Structure 1
Amino acid sequence: MLSHCEDQAAGLVFQSLSQCPEQLELLATWHHQAWGTGSLDERRQRLQKHLSEDAVPTSFIAFLNGQPVGSISLVHYQRLGESPNSVWIANLYVIEAKRRQGIGEALLRHAEQYARQLLLPQLFLYATDQEAFYQKRGWLVRRRGEFRRQPAAVMFYPLRA
């Protein structure tokens, strides 16, 4: 399994949350501040599940020069109309000071590579405000609808040729 990887172009190192559980509080805080749904304690509880040895759910943290600068998760969502075994990208986050430097794309590519190693046929995500970001990176719109009372696109990325 891909659990530690260096992206030489960006100088990034990726670690799974299960390899560095001391980062759980930071990720919970980032995610809560960025998306604010539920309580911080609920975020912590959800991320606790990412500490297991299960392939999914899992979260990865991007470190730049030893400092955490972003994260991404792979999770199962059943409420969005896909199969219960579908794997979704969630929590793509980069700290404000490091945005627009390729870290988000590197995190996305890392998650896609991890999913390929799991032999998944595709990944899903929903986009409420970053649809163009994902489309530029090969993600396709499956359908449009609403998520948490916001217009959203359910997108997918085929992992097999």
Structure 2
Amino acid sequence: MQEAFTLQRLNADSPHVPVVAKWTFETWGQQLHPGRTFAEAVEETRQECGKRGVPSLFVALENGVAVGTASLIAEDIASRPELAPWLASVFVLPQWRGRGIASQLVQRVEQEARENGIECFYLYTPDQQALYQRLGWQEQERIAYGGETVTIMSRQLSADID
């Protein structure tokens, strides 16, 4: 039986913002942004909490407790400004993985992009290519970024019909 969870857009004043910032800071923060403080990570997370379109940040909640997140942002790899916007910061707490939460978060970000006229957007991942391919993402290239090899993937939304 699948646990019930809901997806919610985060506002900058949400009590979940520091939780999401902690996840992303501890998972990727020092590797991708050496020297950034946790306070700076919280502020950046607040800036990702747009009202619609880019930026937007979503959280998966189970009984009001945040268990996962994903966002739609303008830029994720500064050296690739021609690629925009980005699906970013897809994260689910380890004890909640394998329950379809990441897939539903990705699909919610895709819906947000589609509703705001975005026809193509991007992500990068070092190790979750299979998940994204199952969801319709296509591999574009592999590059060195943040001290590891990552795959840049894209998702065409213009041909999708709901």
Could you state the TM-score of these two structures normalised by the residue count of structure 2?
A: 0.85
| Deviant stretches of 4+, over 6 Å | none
Which residue matches 1:101? 99
**SS of structure 1 residue aligned to 2:47:** helix
Report the aligned-residue RMSD: 1.9
Conservation of the 8 A alpha-carbon contact between 1:127 and 1:152? yes
Please give the alpha-carbon distance, in whole angstroms, between the structure 2 residues aligned to 1:31 and 1:102. 20
| Distance apart, 1:47 and its partner CA | 1.0
Gaps of 5+ in 2: 31-35
Mapped pair 1:34 → 2:33: no
Q: Which amino acid aligns with 2:27?
A: A
1:16 corresponds to 2:9: yes
SS in structure 2 at match of 1:21: coil
| Higher strand proportion (structure 1 or 2) | 1
The 8 Å contact of residues 50 and 57 in structure 2, kept in 1 or not, is answered as no
Question: Aligned partner of 1:33: which letter?
Answer: E
Residue 11 of structure 2 aligns to a residue in which SS?
helix
* TM-score with structure 1 setting the length: 0.85
**Aligned-residue offset at 1:158:** 0.5
Q: How far apart, CA to CA, are the structure 2 residues paired with 1:101 and 1:39?
A: 32
Deviations, residues 52-88 of structure 1 (Å, cap 9, x unaligned): 436322210111222211000111116242426x110
Distance 1:119 1:134, change over 3 A: same
Paired AA for residue 23 in structure 1? H
Inter-partner Cα distance in structure 1 for 2:24 and 2:78: 20
Q: Count the aligned residue pairs.
A: 152
Take 1:80 and 1:11, find their aligned partners in 2: how far apart are those partners? 39
Q: Write the letter of the residue equivalent to 1:159.
A: L
Note the residue ranges of structure 1 that are not aligned, 5 or more in a row: 1-8
**2:151 aligned partner:** 153
Equivalent residue number for residue 70 of structure 1: 68
For 1:116-131, list aligned pairs within 5 A: 116-131=114-129
Shift of 1:103: 0.5
- Indicate the residue corresponding to 1:3 in structure 2: none
User: Identity percentage over the alignment?
Assistant: 27
